[in-house]
Structure 1
Amino acid sequence: MAIIGVGLLLFALLIGNIQNFLQGLGRRWLETSLRRRDVEQWMSHRHLPDELRK
């Protein structure tokens, strides 16, 4: 019974770590997309030529 309990505990910890990892990926993706949008807006506002935008 103790082995089963420890196994379930370790499995729950693994699932929790995977969930935190996936949330971190989503958060990083969102921050990157917001930063990219802000830079695009700034470049558009400054009327930068396409060569500089790339």
Structure 2
Amino acid sequence: MAAEHLMGMIKGSYFMKVMLHGTGAIDHEGHEKRIRAAVSTFLRAYGRSR
């Protein structure tokens, strides 16, 4: 389930945007920001407690 949550956060609505509007609908500038935020959130939720 954790992997599904991570992939859902990373993929977000990209799949639907591409299916409806083509690859030009993807915001490439915000892509890295989305990935970093998803990984940060994932680690807070599922990371090892210290």
Give the TM-score category using the shorter length.
0.3 to 0.5
Bigger-Rg structure (1/2): 1
Q: Which protein has greater RCO, CA pairs closer than 8 Å, 6+ apart? A: 2
Question: Larger % of helix: which?
Answer: 1
TM-score by length of 1: 0.35
State TM-score, norm by structure 2: 0.37
